[in-house]
């Protein structure tokens, strides 16, 4: 089996968590270290994942070596000392800015001056081809509607699979999924469902209540954090698809949908000193036997970036398996288990089994 060659778009905190996490596992006995669903997935180990190209729009990242860029401002992941990361030959390249940078982010990120579109298009195609990348991993900021579509099309034009970690609907959009089918390329998406994040916890509890015959009357989930992802999400106009993705992820687990005004799921604020710590607050209210009321409250405290890396490491390997097997269009099981807004929603136990079946067919 060959290496898994990945081009990353958006060298931000999520990528830093994935990259440093992979390095962490290189120095720890895999069987003893926590955090992995699959030490080996379909024959692929963590060491098989290689980042061969990277694209960003920040002056502090473009033109830098991938290790330097991963530690550049405003990234905050520091699990491994920069000096201890193995050298990378990859230089971060220019991506079109389009709608990637929101108003609050522009206070922190100085954007590069983009080359003309036709020059940039040609340059990116050559860079991806020369790198040998077969997977494009998108970690663009929330609200990057045009930039996501640019990179989804770029995946098709450069014969790459696309792993869409952000809440823009590509795998779950019929027309885009069809484009990937026509191009004979796989797509996994949309919007990564964190390892132990608010979405999986909220979905699981909502389903539990439902299955036990109790009735949910209202529920909310609010999240706060202190990184650029949360800062960006202060801009309400960038949040439309994020809210849909997060809300539908919970609604999809209920036998009967809640009225829209009885469910609120959303990122809610930016608290600078929280850095990559994310706090999630959830409440479920309802009635059980004999219409007697109940409620529950959950407070979740997690590192947002560990949460993303623990899932994208498997999404990448499933994308590679899909390429190996010549699969095209959306990849149903892995999308359902790894993403909040897949083309088809399943319960998490069912989606998990679908992933295992998908992997075992690859062996």
Binding residues for ligand NAD (CB under 6 A): 9-15, 55-58, 95-98, 100-101, 109, 139-142, 144, 147, 165-166, 191-192, 194, 197, 227-229, 304-305, 307-308
Which lies closer to ligand NAD via its Cβ, residue 228 or residue 251? Answer: 228
Decide: helix, strand or coil at residue 216.
strand
Which lies closer to ligand NAD via its Cβ, residue 147 or residue 282? Answer: 147
In whole angstroms, the minimum distance from the beta carbon of 242 to ligand NAD comes to 7
Closest listed residue to residue 48, CA positions, set 57, 58, 56, 38: 38
Query: Which residue lies nearest ligand NAD, judged by its C-beta?
Result: 12
**Would you say 13 and 276 are in contact if contact means Cβ atoms under 8 Å apart?**
yes
In whole angstroms, the minimum distance from the beta carbon of 327 to ligand NAD comes to 24
In whole angstroms, the minimum distance from the beta carbon of 313 to ligand NAD comes to 13
In whole angstroms, the minimum distance from the beta carbon of 245 to ligand NAD comes to 9
Which lies closer to ligand NAD via its Cβ, residue 197 or residue 334? Answer: 197
Which lies closer to ligand NAD via its Cβ, residue 173 or residue 191? Answer: 191
**Would you say 295 and 4 are in contact if contact means Cβ atoms under 8 Å apart?**
no
Question: Count H helices, E strands: the chain?
Answer: 11, 11
Residue 339 DSSP class? B
Which lies closer to ligand NAD via its Cβ, residue 18 or residue 322? Answer: 18
In whole angstroms, the minimum distance from the beta carbon of 58 to ligand NAD comes to 4
Q: Which long-range CB contacts under 8 A does 78-82 form with residues at least 24 apart?
A: 79/17, 79/20, 79/21, 79/24, 80/20, 80/23, 80/24
Helix (H) or strand (E) holding 293: strand 293-303
Closest listed residue to residue 266, CA positions, set 215, 297, 222: 222
In whole angstroms, the minimum distance from the beta carbon of 316 to ligand NAD comes to 14
Which lies closer to ligand NAD via its Cβ, residue 195 or residue 320? Answer: 195
Tokens 């699979």 belong to residue: 161
Which lies closer to ligand NAD via its Cβ, residue 245 or residue 320? Answer: 245
In whole angstroms, the minimum distance from the beta carbon of 276 to ligand NAD comes to 8
Closest listed residue to residue 109, CA positions, set 234, 274, 210, 231: 231
Helix 145-157 vs helix 117-131: angle between axes, to the nearest 10 degrees? 50
Distance between CA atoms of 338 and 351, rounded to whole angstroms? Answer: 9
**Would you say 331 and 361 are in contact if contact means Cβ atoms under 8 Å apart?**
no
Which lies closer to ligand NAD via its Cβ, residue 5 or residue 242? Answer: 242
In whole angstroms, the minimum distance from the beta carbon of 163 to ligand NAD comes to 11
């Amino acid at each position: 089996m060959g290496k898994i060659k990945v081009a990353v778009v958006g060298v931000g905190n999520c990528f830093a968590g994935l990259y440093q996490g992979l390095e962490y596992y290189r120095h720890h006995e895999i069987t003893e270290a926590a955090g992995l669903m699959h030490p080996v997935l379909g024959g692929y180990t963590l060491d098989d994942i290689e980042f061969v190209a990277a694209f960003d729009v920040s002056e502090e990242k473009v033109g830098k070596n991938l290790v330097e860029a991963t530690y550049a401002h405003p990234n905050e992941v520091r699990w491994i000392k920069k000096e201890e990361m193995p050298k990378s030959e990859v230089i971060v390249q220019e991506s079109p800015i389009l709608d990637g940078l929101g108003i609050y982010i522009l206070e922190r990120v100085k954007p590069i001056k983009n080359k003309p579109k036709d020059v940039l298009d040609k340059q990116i195609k050559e860079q991806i081809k020369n790198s040998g990348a077969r997977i494009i991993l998108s970690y663009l900021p929330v609200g990057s509607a045009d930039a996501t579509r640019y990179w989804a099309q770029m995946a098709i034009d450069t014969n790459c699979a696309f792993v869409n970690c952000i809440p823009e609907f590509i795998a779950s959009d019929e027309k885009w999924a069809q484009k990937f089918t026509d191009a004979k390329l796989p797509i996994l998406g949309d919007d990564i469902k964190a390892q132990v994040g608010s979405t999986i916890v909220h979905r699981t509890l909502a389903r539990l209540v439902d299955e036990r015959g109790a009735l949910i009357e209202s529920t909310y989930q609010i999240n706060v954090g202190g990184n650029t992802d949360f800062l960006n999400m202060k801009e309400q106009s960038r949040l439309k698809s994020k809210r849909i993705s997060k809300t539908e992820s919970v609604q999809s687990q209920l036998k009967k949908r809640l009225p829209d005004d009885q469910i609120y799921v959303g990122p809610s604020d930016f608290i600078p000193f929280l850095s990559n710590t994310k706090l999630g607050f959830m409440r479920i209210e309802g009635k059980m036997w004999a219409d007697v009321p109940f409620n529950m409250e959950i407070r979740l405290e997690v590192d947002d970036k560990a949460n993303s890396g623990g899932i994208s490491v498997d999404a990448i390997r499933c994308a590679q398996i899909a390429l190996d097997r010549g699969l095209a269009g959306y990849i149903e099981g892995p999308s359902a288990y790894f993403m909040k807004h897949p083309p088809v929603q399943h319960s998490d136990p069912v989606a998990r089994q679908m992933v295992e079946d998908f992997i075992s067919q690859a062996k």
